[in-house]
Amino acid sequence: MSRIQADKHVCEGIGMCEAQADAYFQIGDDGLVDVVQDDVGESDRAHVQAAVDSCPVSALRMQS
Ligand code: SF4
List, for residues 38-52, the tens digit of each pLDDT value. 999 999 999 999 999
Looking at residue 9, its pLDDT comes to 98
Neighbour count for residue 52 (Cβ, 10 Å): 24
In terms of Cβ atoms closer than 10 Å to its own Cβ (0-12, 13-18, 19+), residue 14 is middle
> Quick check: 64 pLDDT over 90?
no
**Which sign does the torsion angle of CA 11, 16, 22, 26 carry?**
positive
Please report, for the chain, the start and end positions of each structural domain, with discontinuous segments joined by +.
2-63
Domain over 2-63 is classified CATH 3.40.47.10: no
Looking at residue 6, its pLDDT comes to 98
Mutate to test the pocket of ligand 1, among 10, 33, 61 (most ligand atoms within 8 A of CB): 33
CA distance 1 to 19: 22
pTM as predicted: 0.93
Confidence band, pLDDT 50/70/90 cuts, at residue 19: very high
Chain CA centroid to CA 5, Å = 7
